[in-house]
Amino acid sequence: MELRDYIRVLRKGWVLIAVLALVGIAVASAYSIAVTPTYTASSKVFVSTTGGGSVSELAQGNTFTQQRVATYADLVTTPVVLLPAAASLHLDATASDLAEQITASAPLNTTLIEITATSTSPTEAANLANATASSLTNVVQNIEASPTDGTSSPVKLTRVQEASVPLSATSPRVPLNVALGLLVGLAIGVGVAVLRETLDTRVRNEHDVEQLTDTAIVGGIAFDPKAPQRPLIVQADPRSPRAESFRTMRTNLQFLDVGSTSRTFVMTSAVQGEGKSTTSANLAIAMAETGAKVLIIDADLRRPRLAEYLGLEGAVGLTDLLIDRAQLLDVIQPWGRHQLYVLPAGQIPPNPSELLGSQVMADLLTSLEKEFDYVFLDAPPLLPVTDAAILTMRATGAIVVVAAGRTQKNQLRGALAALENVGAHVSGIAMTMLPTRGPDAYGYGRYGYNYGYGPEEVDEPHDEAEDEDDDAPIIPGLTNA
């Protein structure tokens, strides 16, 4: 993953990250409140040697003392020191219990021993540190004294710092705990967000598509919750961002396969429910607005929807034409005020794949390519049936529609493989149901959809009753032959 990918993941999962960060702070705060406060007090003991007036004797004595200091520091946590300290304070505790509360350290190149005591009572911590220092002084005096001649010890321990009663607890350290809780919560939140993104199997943005195929993305259609109520958004609301996204796709489509003499595109998808039919209809309407002569064919002979979207009679159509039960001029219907024509699916046949792969269908496409600037075929999904792959073999290429957040990555991969296996050409990828904001919006980082049309005039709504009138213009160049 690149830096921009991590930024996109953080933008997508910022709510989860913030929640886990707050949870970390809450847990740290609860721990700080629940834990019993502890207090720490320290006393210091100075170790020296007696006797010796010359410089060499003083140097030898200093070296001897530094060597003894480390030994005396280890002696602090032994029962011989701790039991007398506990007895002097009248504590009902064993030497092992006190050893957990007492620590001793000897700074390097010094003859000081620092004794630190920890307790839940500040007074007890100070008393314990002082009592231990006194006990250590007595124990060393007894150990270092000569047992034979009764001479005193050459080593002398002097308490140079009395332990004072601490005014504040050393644990818990609330600010530090809260800061650590925040950092741990943020780390877990970022980790979960990255893991969720890594394990996500759905296609959610153009970056996911680019990882699966080198095919160009010809457009991204913004999500519209009212799409089922107004599927023909280019006609119903031409100023909307979603309508503009179809015009953007139209512009990109005009530059596809520039060297090809035909402009026949199969509109398909991996599975159903990805918006291929509404994409086909709106793209055809947008293309016709440029003055091009456009034909859209409902080639989904299993679940045709195009006639319903366009408000046309679809009882007679492509099926009747392929079985020679009707002539082309009898089934093709003009739509709108531009040069847009529709060929419905007709009756659902028992053998759709055979009809679409027949020589009659190939001849029909050849003749239609001569009469129309663009021919769009709304075909079934690629994974359930082979109809779209068969049609693409005879067309300029396929436009594969991918629904963001709905299509699985393996589904898109399988759909592209189905076309590749038959040698069909994929002209482009069209993404639908894209969010209008956020890191998954189409073209995130370059442009968004927060814009509208200018104050130019909008075409008056056409009268669909006139579209089906008997006086509709005859398509130039078409014959019944």
Q: Is the dihedral of CA 61, 62, 67, 73 positive or negative?
A: positive
What is 271-320 written as a DSSP string? SSSSSHHHHHHHHHHHHHTTT--EEEEE--SSS--HHHHHT---SSSHHH
Measured between alpha carbons, how far is 35 from 57 in angstroms, rounded to an integer?
53
Measured between alpha carbons, how far is 40 from 120 in angstroms, rounded to an integer?
9
Query: Alpha carbon 85 to chain centroid distance?
Result: 61
Output the pLDDT for position 377: 95
Question: For strand 39-49 and strand 112-119, is the pairing parallel, antiparallel, or unpaired?
Answer: antiparallel
CA-nearest of 263, 475, 481 to 364 is 481
> Which residues, other chains included, contact 366 with Cβ-Cβ below 8 Å and sequence gap of 6+?
none
> Which residues, other chains included, contact 230 with Cβ-Cβ below 8 Å and sequence gap of 6+?
224, 236, 237
CB burial class (10 A; 0-12, 13-18, 19+) of residue 268?
Answer: buried
**Encoded amino acid at 193, one letter:** A
Structure tokens at 437: 């904001």
In DSSP terms, which residues pair with 471 in a beta bridge? Answer: none
pLDDT tens, position by position, 393-443: 989 899 999 998 889 999 999 999 999 999 999 999 999 988 877 666 655
Output the pLDDT for position 242: 86
In DSSP terms, which residues pair with 342 in a beta bridge? Answer: 296, 333
Output the pLDDT for position 447: 38
CB 139 within 8 A of CB 80: yes
Output the pLDDT for position 459: 39
Output the pLDDT for position 273: 87
Measured between alpha carbons, how far is 381 from 386 in angstroms, rounded to an integer?
8
In DSSP terms, which residues pair with 171 in a beta bridge? Answer: 38
Measured between alpha carbons, how far is 57 from 60 in angstroms, rounded to an integer?
5
What single-letter DSSP state applies at residue 99?
H
Output the pLDDT for position 405: 86
List the chain pLDDT tens, one digit each, 481 residues. 667 777 878 888 889 999 999 999 999 999 988 988 999 999 999 988 765 555 455 556 566 677 778 888 899 999 999 999 999 998 888 889 899 999 999 888 788 999 999 999 999 999 999 999 999 998 888 887 756 555 566 778 888 999 999 988 888 888 999 999 999 999 999 999 888 888 888 888 888 898 899 998 998 888 888 777 888 888 888 888 888 889 989 988 888 766 666 789 999 999 998 889 999 999 999 999 999 999 999 999 999 989 998 989 888 989 999 998 888 888 999 998 889 999 999 889 999 999 999 999 999 999 999 999 999 999 999 999 999 999 999 898 999 999 988 899 999 999 999 999 999 999 999 999 888 776 666 554 443 333 333 333 333 333 333 333 333 444 544 544 3
CB 396 within 8 A of CB 262: yes
In DSSP terms, which residues pair with 265 in a beta bridge? Answer: 376, 397
Residue 249: how many other CB atoms lie within 10 Å = 24
Residue 53: how many other CB atoms lie within 10 Å = 6
In DSSP terms, which residues pair with 39 in a beta bridge? Answer: 119
Question: For strand 155-161 and strand 39-49, is the pairing parallel, antiparallel, or unpaired?
Answer: antiparallel
Structure tokens at 374: 């663009």
In the chain, the domains with their CATH numbers are 3-35+173-198 (no CATH), 39-161 (3.30.70.1130), 203-452 (3.40.50.300)
Output the pLDDT for position 58: 52
Output the pLDDT for position 223: 82
Which segments within 332-475 are labelled E, that is strand? 333-335, 340-343, 374-378, 397-403, 426-434
Measured between alpha carbons, how far is 257 from 265 in angstroms, rounded to an integer?
11
